[in-house]
Chains A and B, each alone.
Chain A
Amino acid sequence: MPIWNQTNVNHLLARSLFGFSAKDSQQAMGYGNFSDLINKALLADAPMPAAPNSWVTLAPLQAQQNDGSAGNWYRELTYWWYNRMLDEGLNMREKMVLFFHNHFSNERDKVSYPQHMYQQNQLFRKYAFGNFKQLVKDVTIDPSMLIYLDGNNSRGSSPNENYAREIMELFTLGIGNYTETDIKQAAKVFSGWQVKDLVSVFDSTRWYTDATVTVFTKAAKFKYDTLIDWIFEQKAAAEFISRKLYQEFVYYKPNEAFVLQMADVLRKNNYEMKPLLRFLFNSDEFYKASIQGSKIKNPSELMVGSAKLLQSKATDTVNLYELAKTLQMQLFQPPNVAGWPGQRDWISSTTYSHRGGFTDSLLTGKRYNGVAVTGKLDALTYARSFVNAEKAVEFVDELVALSLRFPLSDVRKKFLLDTLLDGTTIMNWSTYTASADTRINKFLKALMRLPEYQLC
């Protein structure tokens, strides 16, 4: 059993949530043990959030594209989702929604109506802790997916192979666990569907007419859902999604022995996600010292997490929206059907530099290009919310422990302390001196520009 202490709890929050504030961390410690924190907070079921607006039920019309409505609604949908993340508290449902959005990657460039994307986003929320097999079935005939992977209008007589390939390669089994023939045969089974306004409709006259098709050596008159049942009978299925979860929540290079344990849990629970997540977050593997601080934050974690860390009251979601594009994680616009690869792929000379620019913007109230950012930090009020605000060394230690999962060397702590003091002495430090405001801002800027800050 993992040891219950602040370090391990902060590690759990850093990975399962979009970052956390000092208050979140204290509240989590209040649960007193992992079991209660996980069951009563992280994995607790919650009602579905209200829709961002009434446009979600409008039938798609070309006019909505022409007059710019669709683009504006996509923005609204994205702000709405950021607000779900910012307000997640100690519940990890939104993290799972993002996990599934990345897993069943759909791009708004092709799914041009946000109504479809909103439906899919709510589907992920519904199944965040639910049955993965059923989610795959629902996603298969989800309008957004039908549009994105060309199931829409695919006919049994000359089926489009796109969805059949990606469900096997990227959604359920992984490369090497199927043949080109399996894809061709499965493509027939997935045919017959069309998107009509906001729903998908099956038309048997567009379906395949062969008596049977053969997939994974079994011949049958498969339907889309019985074929998915059969896909989940393949050994690779439970391992594939377990590996992906491991890479998201633990470490990007999977520990295959542990992945097999996860797959066992998943199979025994008939592909229910909640028991698997409970197993993962109660495991010693998850809390290993070598795992902590080894994940490169994705841009959503970085941006939402920084806002939470700074206890931002009115986070500028326009700023998040714009910077997400620059940082290569525009929501509803993953790079391709494989989603965002994550970890080191987040970082290039450009994105690394822009990350620093983003955290600066929360302190300065200005984006790199000069555009104003709302919710600028009140440095003095913020500092004084910490019990150690008037003790420079302890204040630095407290902020480091709160915001960095990578253990910082004493030399680097000294650098942060020197930045905070900026010429004054430990003895003379007080948030009530004339330039304390500037000093705290400089210190926070340096803290969030440390390469260590990019890790969680």
Chain B
Amino acid sequence: MAWLSGGVAWGMGSMTGKAYAQMPAAFASAAGSLRGKALVIIQLNGGNDGLNTIIPAEDDIYFSKRPDIAIKKENGLPISNGMYFHPAMTGIKKLYDEGQVSVIQNIGYNNPNRSHFRATDIWNTGSDANVLWDEGWASRYLTTKYPSFPMKFPKDPMAIQLGSVESLLFQSDMGRFGTVFEDPNLFYQLVNGSSADTDLPPATMAGDELGFLKQIATSSIQYASVIQAGANKGKNSFTYPTTNLAKQLAIIAKLISGGLETPIYLANIGGFDTHSNQLNQHLNLWKTISDAVSSFQNDLKNQGLDEYVSVMTFSEFGRRLNQNGTTGTDHGTAAPMLVVGKTVKGGLVGPNPNLKNLDSNGDIKFVYDYRQVYSTVLRDHLGLDAVNTQSIFKQSFERLPIYNNSPETLPENSSLELVNPVPNPVEDYAFLQYSVFAPNTFETKQTIRLAVYDLSGQEVQQIYSGEKAIGSYQMTLDLSRLSAGFYIISLSSSTGQRINRRMIKQ
């Protein structure tokens, strides 16, 4: 039996191994980056009132349904297209004017759930409303990124959560991906002196629980010193407010500055369940978020780290259009999300909330699925490829124009996606990914044609022709028969859409 106080990985005896798809290196990270990207997720607990956050202050219905709690146009901070930020969001408004905030409207999913707990689970796992998953979407991403876990722990924490109770977001059948703490130095001090042994627990109900405890002990021992060292090496170059959220973001900035390669951070703010007297409470919450996020962005910018990091907000649901009898709002459905960072396109994405055409419960209908936002962040920020992104959600979701490198247009205009072949120039074999999306809500497949053309427009090699189910696909193309020169790979559909990608054969 070996006792350890750090450094040696502890294998999970009673947990089964999982097959994984190894990504080609070219897809794994954005070329030329000095360091990996990081995503900072801010969870708004309780169900944020989207209509009083991104406000339709030129819509008469909004005022008629919320006589006591509507926010007037002259108090809001103008965005565009008749929408306004909450007056407390001055910091975010400034970032927006600098092109660093994408506001994506009407995010939700089919058959929305209005229970805090079930809805939070849905957002954390990335499941459909009628399916129960017990693994977080982030932990499925991390499984792809760190396929050796939990047999081996990577150098830096895989995910960091500021707080005390680990989110489902970081839980998986493979174990816990998150390292959870409130203060780096205190964390180090507490863990110091702990030990964990490498014995495998018995494969019993109690043994499983013991195995779980041992994994937490081992990862705490391993990462406490890494985190403390990162915090000591890193710095904050901007003065943050004293709110709890600002403190969380300041620690995250410090760890990023200290060189931690952790790809996902989770921060948290509660108090959004505004059933009564909501005006003041909601104002304070958004002032807190806005001030904290703008401090964080300033800090990163001062340190030249802002191109590596983006911030995404989410909440389990929005709130009802109609105010209730206690000057608050009850549980609702679709709501906006914010994505903030130097690399976002910026602007208002999607149509304004439709206050006339509500669902049978009086709630706003969603326009974009929440996993479209997640898929966009995974692919265009964290650099995951289409097929691995699909495997996280077990469905393909069309991306939204959130980042500079995201597709230009909103999804209703496209039903196909073709990624540039790699390598390019190519010798004999090229790796190709493409996606087929539903052209309307009824179709589950499309008739497509994928082929290689020369520059005169002559087809030189057919790759696929026929029906394809909705989804993302990857393949290795044998191009050894082609002579050296310039070619076009073209994906077209019976819907009339066509995408071309250039390729050089050596």
* Interfacial residues, chain A to chain B (CB-CB below 8 A): 150, 153-155, 157-162, 165, 169, 175, 180, 251, 290-296, 326, 328, 335-338, 343-345, 347-354, 356-357, 368, 406, 409, 411-412, 415, 449, 451-452, 454-455
Contact = CB atoms under 8 A, between A and B. Distances in A.
B330 interface: yes
Interface string B166-183: 100000000010111110
Contacts of B116: 336-338
B276 A351 contact: no
A330 B25 CA distance: 48
Contact of B115 (A160, A162, A165, A406): A165
B179 A294 contact: no
Interface stretch (B12-20, B208-216, B493-501): B208-216
Contact of B210 (A357, A449, A452): A452
Given A347-B216, A368-B190, A454-B213, A154 B326 contact: yes
B4 to A, nearest CB: 13
Contacts of B179: 349
B35 interface: no
Interface residue SS majority, chain B: mixed
Given A150-B326, A348-B216, A296 B209 contact: yes
Interface string B261-290: 000000000000001100000000000000
A335 B120 CA distance: 14
B432 interface: no
A160 B325 contact: yes
Contact of A291 (B195, B196, B205, B223): B205
Interface in B137-176: 161, 163-166, 176
Contacts of A291: 205-206
A158 B327 CA distance: 10
B115 A158 contact: no
A155 B164 contact: no
A455 B190 contact: no
B371 interface: no
B427 interface: no
B214 A451 contact: yes
B361 A160 contact: no
Contact of A351 (B164, B199, B275): B164
B164 A165 contact: no
A23 B204 CA distance: 30
Given A347-B216, A352-B220, A356-B193, A409 B209 contact: no
12 contacts: A150-B276, A154-B325, A162-B330, A165-B115, A291-B205, A291-B206, A295-B209, A344-B209, A351-B180, A411-B199, A412-B197, A451-B217
A439 B15 CA distance: 37
A383 to B, nearest CB: 22
Contact of B191 (A347, A353, A411, A451): A353
B118 A349 contact: no
Interface of B: 1, 3, 45-46, 114-118, 161, 163-166, 176, 178-182, 186-187, 189-191, 193-197, 199, 204-206, 209-210, 212-214, 216-217, 219-220, 223-224, 275-276, 324-326, 328, 330-331, 361
B326 A348 contact: no
B199 A409 contact: yes
A291 B176 CA distance: 23
9 nearest A-B pairs in the assembled complex, by CB-CB distance:
A158-B325, A348-B180, A353-B190, A451-B213, A294-B206, A349-B220, A293-B206, A348-B166, A294-B205
Nearest to A296: B209
B265 to A, nearest CB: 14
A254 to B, nearest CB: 12
Given A353-B190, A368-B189, A406 B216 contact: no
B225 to A, nearest CB: 12
A251 B195 CA distance: 27
A169 B117 CA distance: 10
Contact of A356 (B182, B194, B204, B205): B194
Given A349-B220, A415-B1, 7 more contacts: A150-B326, A153-B325, A154-B325, A157-B325, A160-B328, A349-B180, A351-B180
A175 B1 CA distance: 46
Given A155-B325, A175-B118, A180-B114, A350 B210 contact: no
Contacts of B189: 368
Contacts of A357: 190
Given A294-B209, A451-B213, A335 B165 contact: yes
B9 to A, nearest CB: 16
Contact of B219 (A157, A180, A337, A349): A349
A335 B163 CA distance: 12
A292 B206 contact: yes
A318 B451 CA distance: 74
Contact of A455 (B117, B197, B209): B209
A451 B220 contact: no
B191 to A, nearest CB: 5
Given A290-B205, A368-B189, A455-B206, A352 B216 contact: yes
Contact of A350 (B164, B205, B275): B164
B190 A160 contact: no
Contacts of A295: 209
Nearest to A176: B118
Contacts of B214: 451
Given A160-B330, A294-B206, A169 B115 contact: yes
Contacts of B276: 150, 153, 160
B263 to A, nearest CB: 18
Given A162-B330, A292-B206, A328-B164, A348 B275 contact: no
Contacts of B213: 296, 347, 352, 451, 454-455
Contacts of B220: 349, 352-353
Given A335-B165, A352-B217, A368-B190, A406 B210 contact: yes
Nearest to B216: A352
Given A157-B325, A337-B116, A411-B199, A349 B206 contact: no
Nearest to B193: A356
A251 B330 contact: no
A451 B195 CA distance: 9
A350 B328 CA distance: 36
A173 B46 CA distance: 22
Contacts of B328: 150, 160
A338 B204 CA distance: 29
Given A338-B117, A348-B178, A351-B164, A161 B190 contact: no
Given A175-B115, A291-B205, A349 B326 contact: no
A303 to B, nearest CB: 16
Contact of A348 (B164, B210, B330): B164
Contacts of B195: 449
B166 A353 contact: no
A393 to B, nearest CB: 19
A69 B163 CA distance: 29
A348 B178 CA distance: 8
B89 to A, nearest CB: 25
Contacts of B193: 356
B190 A354 contact: yes
A150 B219 CA distance: 42
Nearest to B191: A353
A165 B114 contact: yes
